[in-house]
Structure 1
Amino acid sequence: MAADFFHLDTAPGHRLYAPAFLEHGTRRPHITGVTAQPSREWVVRQARNAAAGLGVRIESLRFLLRDRDGKYGPAFDAVFQAEDMEVLLSAPRAPRMDAHCERVTGTLRREALDHVLVMNEAHA
């Protein structure tokens, strides 16, 4: 499984952020929320939502690949470590290390978000 953030721009010109969790085996993305100000506490809550949304499928996952963003913290890692997943950090400045998640978020932006005018967080 991979975790990454992607951004979407609203019609009034504000930027919103959404965490995306990608199952590598099925290439199924899980978008858990949208916010203008992602904090560590909010990101941990979204990680719990993703873990709960996976249900019994989370037992088959062994690794979580994430980047070294400051929004992730020890509490974020603890959510997945409690599910017996090992958290792997991508190398600094190596976007190709998480290429599957980068490709899926790029596809989401091109295929869905380029055709919709998002007004605010509730609309997104």
Structure 2
Amino acid sequence: MPRGSKDKYTEKQQRKAEHIEESYEEKGVPEKDAEARAWATVNKQSGGGNRKGGSGQTKSESAKHRDASQSARRAVKTKRGEPRPDRSLESETKEELMRKARSRNISGRSSMRKQELVDALKKAS
């Protein structure tokens, strides 16, 4: 068997892997490669073993920290179109710049690139 125990897989996943493995072997793929490909396919389609306990992996501390900082950033929401004093024009998305340019009625905005929008908005201020 390829690496690891297959105890965490459901009966359905195990049957599926067997069928996939058999079809690869019928096509002339060596047994070991066919088995590895079959389990890779099952993992790709279902995300691995589905029985209780999962992979045994938990989120790392850095992943938990990253998730917390993302949610903190989302908490600083403002109303659409409202200027954000904590952000420079260069750090805003092109869509945000387009919205500001539209509200200031800057002509030619639809064909402008991001930097051109920034320059036009600075000039309009």
> Which structure has the highest helix share of the two?
2
- Between structure 1 and structure 2, the one with the greater Rg is 2
Higher RCO (Cα < 8 Å, 6 or more apart): 1
TM-score range, shorter chain: under 0.3
> Which structure has the highest strand share of the two?
1
